[in-house]
Structure 1
Amino acid sequence: MQPLVLRTVAETAAWAESIRRSGRRLALVPTMGFLHEGHLSLMREGLRRADVVASSIFVNPTQFGPTEDLSRYPRDMEGDLSKCGSAGVEAVFAPLPAEVYPPGYQTYVDVEQVSQGLCGARRPGHFRGVATVVTKLLCIFRPHLALFGEKDYQQLQVIRALERDLNLGVEIVGMPTVREPDGLAMSSRNAYLSKEDRQRALALSRGLSAAQSLCRNGTREAPALVGAVRRELEAAGLREDYVELVDASSLTPLSVVTPGQPARLLVAAFVGTTRLIDNQPIGG
């Protein structure tokens, strides 16, 4: 059964209010559509943790830079609604941009520290757009919890910070990256890859696995761990955007993995013209 499709802020807020008034627990899964198993895993987990799951399908223009892929970002509304229904989603907010950012719109959310560096440095304004649209969605739905994937790890930390700092009262749930059988992190942008580039893209997960293996065997210095990832990228002919070892919460760079301090290794690289990201926890 397909979910109810909501087009306006007013009807979405009214629907969500009716769920809360009925005493049911509401989970939200925000998306930009072109759904894959990673998104559906969030929806199924939402249904496990709550009584009702809602989602949003909105390609948010404020998180794309002027030279980025907004116009060609993959879209499949009919297929997405079918997938939402199969995952147990009851309602989907699918607005036009003018509904989210009407004439005269002038309010944006900046999360200052965890948005710095990594993707924040390479995509100016990106996390301002992410933080703004997620804040709006949390205010419209007022869910009990909202679920996000760890593949977009810096984004997850930005969202956790904005929820905490603005006292929104929503439980933010981060879920592990869902991967293809060969290890490639699922991403809507994988649709851009040719068959050859799809194979080359495996260098991201291979590099992270190589670094994890080194760490398990006692190598904990950042240059060695980062170098293991870079070797895989170079061997596959990928163009590195960044490879960094950071504290798992603050995202500040680390020079060494210290026992008891959660760390994360993050990578971004271009496979042809397609930019992909991935990450893994390391050490601990």
Structure 2
Amino acid sequence: MAKEPEIMRDKDQMRTWSRSMRSKGKTLALVPTMGYLHQGHLSLIQEAQKHCQLTIVSIYINPGQFAPSEDLSTYPSDFQGDLEKLKKVGVDAVFCPKNLYDYAIDSKIPSGSYSDLGFDGTGERKVGSCDENGVEFGKDEKNPRGSSGDLGFEGGVKGKVVSCVEEKGDGRLGHETWVRVERLEKGLCGNSRPVFFRGVATIVAKLFNIVEPDVAVFGKKDYQQWRIIRRMVRDLDFGINVIGSEIVRDVDGLAMSSRNVHLLPEERDKALSINKALSKAKFSAQNGQISCKELRHSVVQAIFEAGGRVDYAEIVDQESLKPVEEIKSPVVFSVAAWFGKVRLIDNMEINV
């Protein structure tokens, strides 16, 4: 029998509910999501239910982790469909706030006057004062757009890398505090998405402060994100156990992702090359091929021949995420690649 979860849109309401449950001796698990739920998300919920008495799922498309040039405006959503899935798996509460960056600090801008994603009152998902890549450029034209800025990334671009929350100059939304895990956010996805992990760490910290869970579950498909959240929790003394749940794949081997819906059928077939290439590399490593250069080359070549464009293919230490030259300890082989207009990520742990 399907269970009707409590649905909360207000952060004070969510916090009050959580504290009420904790006062009754209940333990709470949080599964943060951006919605458009699939079996991978449901597996996170099932994992959470093993560890706590009550499970909360948050649904919030976080503008703080998108640059204006990225796919915030096309990120899929199906709130009613999500609720039906959550009922079937017995979730206790759903937290679906409108805008966690709207503090209504300006009396001329009443609370709730922005769109659900925190943009201006036009109803469009845009920040007009940013350029198309989310970067205010200096005079150094030798550096690629979006390669650095005042987030501490290398590359020398002068100016500011911004997210879809921020607007140039006036600061109408009021948010100016960001959480950064400075070393782990570099490399891998951090190279091409300099806004991303600052936004992820910040929104997760906000959710932790609002929900106050005992346990939080994240998928290992977003491996760098999982490690960053674990490090943030350790460094800032959150009393939360952050659990990483294994990647869930479709029957054809493609890692489940909300973005898969945007793949054309032929693009999806080509994207299967990621898992195939990673599986082959893992097999090679387990059978004595420890040269990361050779393993990376094989994966890049396979994805290229399938018609994909590789963003990165890196073999890194599982804890530090530092690149390694030879596999002598547990590593993770992480890949990001474009098929058509869709950027997919995947990874495979290699324990030798």
TM-score normalised to structure 1 length: 0.97
In the alignment, which residue of structure 1 is the partner of 2:121? none
In the alignment, which residue of structure 2 is the partner of 1:226? 296
Structure 1 residue identity aligned to 2:23: R
Paired with 1:196 and 1:3, the residues of 2 have a C-alpha distance of: 38
Partner of residue 11 from structure 1, selected from 13, 27, 31: 13
Structure 1 residue identity aligned to 2:336: A
In the alignment, which residue of structure 1 is the partner of 2:337? 269
Tell whether the 8 Å contact from 1:215 to 1:283 is kept in structure 2 after alignment. Answer: no
Alignment of 1:185-204 (within 5 A): 185-204=255-274
Structure 2 residue identity aligned to 1:140: I
Q: Specify the structure having the higher radius of gyration (Cα).
A: 2
> 1:273, CA displacement in angstroms?
1.0
Alignment of 1:138-177 (within 5 A): 138-177=208-247
Tell whether the 8 Å contact from 1:238 to 1:269 is kept in structure 2 after alignment. Answer: yes
Runs of 4+ in 1 over 4 A off after TM superposition: none
Paired with 2:245 and 2:47, the residues of 1 have a C-alpha distance of: 9
> 1:175, CA displacement in angstroms?
0.4
Paired with 2:264 and 2:4, the residues of 1 have a C-alpha distance of: 32
Partner of residue 53 from structure 2, selected from 51, 72, 76: 51
In the alignment, which residue of structure 1 is the partner of 2:159? none
Identity of aligned residues (%): 46
RMSD: 0.9
**Number of matched residues?**
281
If each structure's helix is expressed as a fraction of its own residues, which one has the higher value? 1
Q: Deviations over 1:232-265 (max 9, x none)?
A: 101201000000000001100000000xx21000
Partner of residue 94 from structure 1, selected from 93, 96, 106: 96
Tell whether the 8 Å contact from 1:44 to 1:88 is kept in structure 2 after alignment. Answer: no
* Alignment of 1:39 onto 2:48: no
Partner of residue 66 from structure 1, selected from 54, 65, 68: 68
> 1:85, CA displacement in angstroms?
1.4
Paired with 1:234 and 1:265, the residues of 2 have a C-alpha distance of: 17
* Alignment of 1:213 onto 2:283: yes
Most deviating of 171-180 and 41-50 = 41-50
In the alignment, which residue of structure 2 is the partner of 1:282? 350
Paired with 1:145 and 1:121, the residues of 2 have a C-alpha distance of: 30
- Look up the SS of the partner of 1:269 in the other structure: strand
Paired with 2:314 and 2:102, the residues of 1 have a C-alpha distance of: 35
In the alignment, which residue of structure 2 is the partner of 1:134? 204
In the alignment, which residue of structure 1 is the partner of 2:191? 121
TM-score normalised to structure 2 length: 0.78
Structure 1 residue identity aligned to 2:270: R
